[in-house]
Amino acid sequence: MAGPHSASGARTGWFSRFRRSFTIVWIALRHGLDELVLSSFDKPGLRRLTRILTVGRQLDAPRGQRLREALEQLGPIFVKFGQVLSTRRDLLPADVADELARLQDRVPPFDSAIAIATIERSFRRPIGAIFESFDPVPVASASIAQVHFATLRDRDGRLREVAVKVLRPGMLPVIDKDLALMHQMAGWVERLSADGKRLKPREVVAEFDKYLHDELDLVREAASAAQLRRNMTGLDLVLIPEMFWDFCHPEVLVMERMNGVPIAQLERLRELGVDIPRLARDGVTIFFTQVFRDGFFHADMHPGNIQVSVAPDTFGRYISLDFGIVGTLTEVDKDYLAQNFTAFFRRDYKRVAELHIESGWVPAGTRVDELEAAIRAVCEPYFDRPLREISLGMVLMRLFQTSRRFHVEIQPQLVLLQKTLLNIEGLGRQLDPELDLWATAKPFLEKWMADQIGPQKLLEQLRDEAPRYAQLLPQLPRLLHDYLKHHDRPHDRDLQELLREQQRTNRLLQTLLFVGTGFILGLAFMLLAARLHLFL
């Protein structure tokens, strides 16, 4: 039974959401966002309505500036929305895109005194006892945190240049209010919309909720950065800063300072001799490697988080920053997505349709030929075209129409991947409008699929499972014997036969293990002998 405190909490929660809704509407009207929306239509009636609504309001600032300032005032969730939009210059006017690009790393900073106080509170030491030097002027400021440069001595006594990331104060209450509002609106959409159950709005918001709260823990971000750094070792396409674990705290993160040129400064990169088309291709390779090989990917790849190294030994490599949002995929998700992409790049639309039905994304009774024809009609016009000739807005609109017609269910666990893919495609469009996204990705995916079903993959799986099998196999005869001893007699004959079959299987596995071990050892001795011969 709910008591008075729960009723009071519900009233407080309702009032908090109402107050936040009123604040959002007030800020939108103050900056004339209603005028921006209505003036984008060519209907004479809407234009007259726009003139009426703007009477008495001073809206002299450029439209892009007004939109940017409104998003900054509304808080981190809206700033992140603006960051995603800023990469889509194919969907926005140039003046608006230029202003939104300021949200990537030029959000107004908070007071440096607060940043220093946060650092000192986190490490319980004065700032001078932590760093050899600390620049109070932030070098970058975004929706969740801001960054200062400093120097410190590592465990070996070496002086190191570092970047210090400090969480903005008071972020959690603001984010929680907006998320509560989003949860409420998702519930309305699910109940009132004909597509509510198919779109799964509450599950999508729940995924967004989880990622945003993860971003507020800088220790989690440091761990994600360390994992990505290990994964990318050997790829020689991207640099990821080292984390200084002695100076990591939920509110403060100290990492290696990276020296590069922001990827948005294309003219400067060209002057320095960076191969921009190659940079675009490398970005696609990095993305697909993280997604399909590792199942662990940087999910906030807007230009504010990417630089390019111009140091002689790492010239032209990406530098990734800000690992607050990372995405993960299960083996099932990776396999399914890779099969879809591979079939898509081969224009095997029938296989794409079959995969959608097999996965349960569309109802089981869906006709394969009808879904195949619909997918072909959406995708075929955009093959063999550079990015500059692809209208993403048209593709999305037609895909949405198709998904509604065939009752395609939204997959909440893939929403972050879809957002990142939009970032990558937008970044590629800025770097090289002539980039053929499909041709760049196809060889990688085909090789990955071949590796997944080849002998190397089988050996890796056997190696990974060997310790578990080695522990389990000797126990099977005893377990089956105990089962025979304590269960009904009518089943004994079948179980005895199963026991004999298991013993034969054990002997076969032991033989194969012996032969395989002998083969591997023989091969190792041959390679060792060959190396000794070359050395001598």
Q: What amino acid positions are annotated as catalytic residues?
A: 300
Residue pair 135/170 in contact (Cβ under 8 Å)? The answer is no
Torsion, Cα of 218, 220, 222, 223 (10° steps): 170
Torsion, Cα of 129, 108, 76, 245 (10° steps): -20
Q: Where are the strands (E) in 378-484, listed by range?
A: none
Long-range pairs, 381-389, Cβ under 8 A, ≥24: 383/347, 383/438, 384/436, 384/438, 385/436, 386/433, 386/434, 386/435, 386/436, 387/425, 387/428, 387/429, 387/432, 387/433, 387/434, 387/435, 387/436, 387/437, 388/429, 388/433, 388/434
Q: Could you count the other beta carbons within 10 Å of the beta carbon of residue 289?
A: 18
Task: Compute the distance between CA of residue 440 and CA of residue 520 in angstroms, rounded to an integer.
Answer: 37
How far from chain centre, in Å, is Cα 151?
A: 31
Residues 6+ apart with CB under 8 A from 460: none
Element (H, E) at 161: strand 159-167
Instruction: Judge residue 156's burial from the number of C-beta atoms within 10 Å of its C-beta, 0-12 exposed, 13-18 middle, 19 or more buried.
Output: exposed
What tokens does 340 get?
């879809």
Tokens 């099932």 identify what position? 332
Instruction: Judge residue 266's burial from the number of C-beta atoms within 10 Å of its C-beta, 0-12 exposed, 13-18 middle, 19 or more buried.
Output: middle
Task: Compute the distance between CA of residue 256 and CA of residue 316 in angstroms, rounded to an integer.
Answer: 19
Q: Of 98, 114, 115, 117, nearest to 106 (Cα)?
A: 98
Q: Of 102, 108, 100, 175, nearest to 146 (Cα)?
A: 108
372 SS3 class:
helix
Q: Of 260, 258, 72, nearest to 165 (Cα)?
A: 258
How far from chain centre, in Å, is Cα 223?
A: 15
Q: Which residues make beta-bridge pairs with 152?
A: 160
Q: Of 219, 270, 290, 229, nearest to 448 (Cα)?
A: 290
Tokens 């990505």 identify what position? 228
What's the N-to-C CA distance of the chain in angstroms?
A: 86
